[in-house]
Amino acid sequence: MHLIIQIPCYNEADTLPQVVAALPRELPGIQRLEVLVIDDGSSDGTSDVARSLGVDYVIRHPQNRGLAAAFQTGLDFCLRAGADIIVNTDGDHQYPGHQVATLIAPVLRGEADMVIGDRQTHAISHFSPVKRWLQQWGSWVVRLASGTSVPDATSGFRAFSREAALRLIVLTRYTYTLETIIQAGKKGLVVTSVPIQVNEPLRHSRLMKSTWSYVKHSAATILRLYTFYEPLRSFSYLAAPFLLIGSLLIGRFLYFYFTGLTGVARYVQSVAIGGTFFTVGFLIFLFGILADISSTQRALLEEVLYRQRKQELENLLREPAEQGRAPQEPATREQKERPRAGA
């Protein structure tokens, strides 16, 4: 088994040495263990520090593209490098490296495609009560949207099987944590969690600039992805209030009309307003049907892309194997971003 531990970094020159030093050099069941650092346009020499630490691979984005892009770049490279299991950890030394063995165990046993380290946020002392509540509430929403049972949705300490890595393509720019869970749940991948401990923070989170910013971006991501994968249900929820109000108002008019009450004309407003609400609701529902048809086409395209990526990867790995050589890593631009598998 070939394991690659990827570390997305943005200006992590100070903490990266501790992260790399804590990582294991060998693990039971793993024949080849390598470390990849993705430098997302850092200006503090993170790439130079990574090379001085002797990591196996260093990829550098010419400019900062965000955590989600750095994560996807790493995932694509790890696939092309022949990884059977990919572990993602942060460059801020939040996650103790010695817990990699615990993280990959379900994947090694064939029990899961994706494993997430549960930080047990309710017990983290340096989290404020508000942050603990937001983490628990957000994870509950993600569980609801994805159909999984992940207790800590924003944890970046994760392990992926090759199959999971081939299936996942990050579309959002803010963060990969929520999207990959929802994608995995909707694509039928087996997602599980293992309890982990975390280190004391060495710096403030760069992703969570403020509580409001975090809530706003996370809510938008969850809503967008849920609508993306469940369009008919999403539009039905949106149409339901309009249809209900419209039906009640029209029903009110019909009740007075058929009971023969005098002065029925004064209830005509119910028909006008109710008809408008009902029409709007019906149109929203029709949009949901159209979106659902598009979603079916998207699912077919995703399956085609998955098979293409898988075939390209198999061809890439088969050629060196037939010649008795190790898999050829993608060409670099001064060790910068590699081309995506299947791109």
For 134-158, the pLDDT digits (tens) are: 778 888 888 888 888 888 888 889 9
Give the global pTM.
Answer: 0.78
pLDDT digits (tens, 9 = 90+) for 270-290: 888 999 999 999 999 999 999
pLDDT tens digit string along 200-210? 766 666 555 66
| Average pLDDT of the chain, as a whole number | 84
Q: Is the pLDDT of residue 120 over 90?
A: no
Q: Is the pLDDT of residue 132 over 70?
A: yes
SS (HEC) of the chain: CEEEEEEEECCCCCCHHHHHHHCCCCCCCCCEEEEEEEEECCCCCHHHHHHHCCCCEEEEECCCCCHHHHHHHHHHHHHHCCCCEEEECCCCCCCCHHHHHHHHHHHHCCCCCEEEEECCHHHCCCCCHHHHHHHHHHHHHHHHHHCCCCCCCCCCCEEEEHHHHHHCCCCCCCCCHHHHHHHHHHCCCCEEEEECCCCCCCCCCCCCCCHHHHHHHHHHHHHHHHHHHCHHHHHHHHHHHHHHHHHHHHHHHHHHHHCCCCCHHHHHHHHHHHHHHHHHHHHHHHHHHHHHHHHHHHHHHHHHHHHHHHHHHHHHHHHHHHCCCCCCCCCCCCCECCCCCCC
pLDDT for 12-24, tens place per residue?
999 999 999 999 9
Classified by CATH at the fold level, domain 2-229 comes out as: Spore Coat Polysaccharide Biosynthesis Protein SpsA; Chain A (3.90.550)
Domain positions in the chain:
2-229, 231-321
Taking every pair of C-alpha atoms in the chain, what is the biggest distance, in angstroms?
Answer: 94
